[in-house]
Amino acid sequence: MTTSSTKIELVIDDEHLAGTFLAPQSKVPGVLFVHGWGGSQARDLDRARGIAGLGCVCLTFDLRGHEKESARQKTVTRAENLHDIVCAYDKLAQHPAIDTHSIAVVGTSYGAYLSTILTTLRPVKWLSLRVPSLYRDDQWTLPKRQLNREDLAEYRGSPVTPEENRALAACAAFTGDVLIVESEYDHLVPHATIMSYRAAFQNSHSLTHRVVDGADHALSEKVCQEAYTSILVHWITEMVVGARVGSRIGLP
C-alpha cells in the first residue's frame, strides 16, 4: 500500500514542534508515536513508515525540550510534555483519513509513561509501551531534569501499585489492548518497574509482554532494534487485522 508523507508543525504555547504525517489513501486506524527522554521522532520514522504501509495513519513528532544542548531541556516539565502529547493526539484525530475510534499510541520510556496518562484524557484503543519509565506523582511541575535520579532508581526498583501512582492508575483503568516490551539488560527501567506496569493492567482486553534478549534501554545494537520493530509490527498487524475482521462480522 502506498503512503504519503507530509511535514507539519505543532504550535504549542508559542513553541514550534516538528512532526511528520504518514498516511495511506483510505480511512484506517491512527497510530501516535511518542519518543523517550532526550530522543526525537527520528527513531520512530522507519517503524511508522512500515506501519503506515499496513493501512494506518501514523504521526511522529518531537516533544519540546528534547533537543541536545538545548537550554529548554533544563526547564521542560512532565506537565508540558503531556500537553504536547495531547495536542499531537488531537492533531492525529483531526486527520480526515482515520477512524477516530481506532487510535493506537506507541510510547517509549518517558514517552510511554506519559502515554499511559494520555489514556485518561483521550480515547485510546491500543497501547504499546516499550521500557516504560516510572516517576513519583509529586513534583509534577518541576523541570524533569531536576528530579532526583537516585531516588527514581530506588523507586523503580520496588513494587509500585496503582493506588500510589498516577500512571499505574491509568493502566488499571485502561480497557484496550496492551503491548509491553522489556529490554533484558535495562539499567534505567528494571524488571520490577515492568512488573508494576504489568500488574496494573487489571482491566485490559489483552496484554502481551515481550522481552528483547540482550537489549539495553536504548536498543543500542541494530539486531535489538530489528527485534523490537518485528515485535511491534506483528502486534499492530494483529490488532488492526483483528479489528477489521471483527467489524466485518459484527463483533463489538
Give 203-240 pLDDT, tens digit per residue: 999 999 999 999 999 999 999 999 999 999 999 999 98
* Local structure of 150: helix, strand or coil: helix
How many independent structural domains does the chain possess? Answer: 1
Give 42-71 pLDDT, tens digit per residue: 889 999 999 998 889 999 999 998 766 678
CATH classification at residue 47: 3.40.50.1820
pTM listed for this prediction: 0.87
Helix axes 166-173, 191-200, angle to 10 degrees: 40
Q: How many Cβ atoms from other residues are within 10 Å of residue 190's Cβ?
A: 16
What domain range includes position 92?
A: 4-248
Q: How many Cβ atoms from other residues are within 10 Å of residue 37's Cβ?
A: 20
Sequence length of the chain is: 252
